[in-house]
Amino acid sequence: MNFFDSCRGDQMTRYTNADFNDDDSVNSVQLTEGISTSATHIRYHTGSTMWKQRSPLEKILLLLIGMLFFVIFVLAVILHIAEHRLLDNKINELKTQNEQPCLNQSCIHIANNLLLAMDSTVDPCDDFYAYACNGWVKANPAPDGKPQWGTFSKLGQQNQLVIKHGLEQPIKNFKSKAQQKAKLYYESCLDVNDTVEKLGAQPLLDELKVIGGWNISDKNFNISKWSLQQIIQTVQNRYNIGGLFSYAVGEDDKNSSRYIIQIDQSGLTLPTRDSYLNKTAEHQKVLDAYLEYMTKVGVLLGGEENITKQQMKEVIEFETELANITTPSDMRRDESTFYHNMTIQELNTKAGFIDWRKFFEDAMKIVNKKVSSKEPIVVYAVEYLSNLTLLIDKYQKTPQGKNTLNNYMVWQFVRFFTVYLSKNFRDAYKILRTAMTGPDSGDEAQWRFCVEDTTNQLGFPVGSIFVREVFHQESKIHAEEMINNVRNAFKNNFINLEWMDEETRNLAIAKADAISDMIGYPEFINDFNQLDKRYENLSVRNDTYFKNNINILVHNLKKNLEKIKESVNKTTWSMSPSTVNAYYTPTKNQMVFPAGILQNPFYDPDFPDSLNYGGMGVVMGHELTHGFDDQGRQFDKNGNLNHWWNNKTIDKFKERTKCVIDQYHNYKINGRNINGNQTLGENIADNGGLKASYHAYLEIMKHKSEPKKLPGLNLNHKQLFFLAFAQVWCSTTTKETYSLLIEKDSHSPAQLRVIGALSNLKEFSDEFKCKVGSKMNPKNKCEVW
Three-state DSSP at 527 gives coil
Q: What are phi and psi of 132, to 5 degrees?
A: -85, -30
Cβ burial 138-174 (10 Å sphere, 16+ → b, else e)? eebebbebbbbbbbbbbbbbebbebbbebbeeeeeeb
- The Cα–Cα gap between 195 and 638 comes to 50
User: In angstroms, how far is CA 473 from the centroid of its own chain?
Assistant: 22
Cross-strand pairs, 768: none
| Start-end of H helices in 535-679 | 545-561, 609-612, 618-626, 647-665
- The Cα–Cα gap between 734 and 148 comes to 7
Q: What are phi and psi of 741, to 5 degrees?
A: -65, -40
Count CB-CB contacts under 10 A for residue 321: 15
Catalytic residues: 623, 686
Count CB-CB contacts under 10 A for residue 461: 29
First to last CA, the chain: 15
- The Cα–Cα gap between 267 and 303 comes to 23
- The Cα–Cα gap between 432 and 430 comes to 5
> How far, CA to CA in Å, does 360 sit from each of 269, 351, 375?
24, 14, 10
> How far, CA to CA in Å, does 653 sit from each of 497, 607, 690, 782?
10, 37, 19, 12
**Residue type (1 letter), 704:** K
Three-state DSSP at 727 gives helix
CA geometry: angle at 398 spanning 397 and 401, to 5°?
100
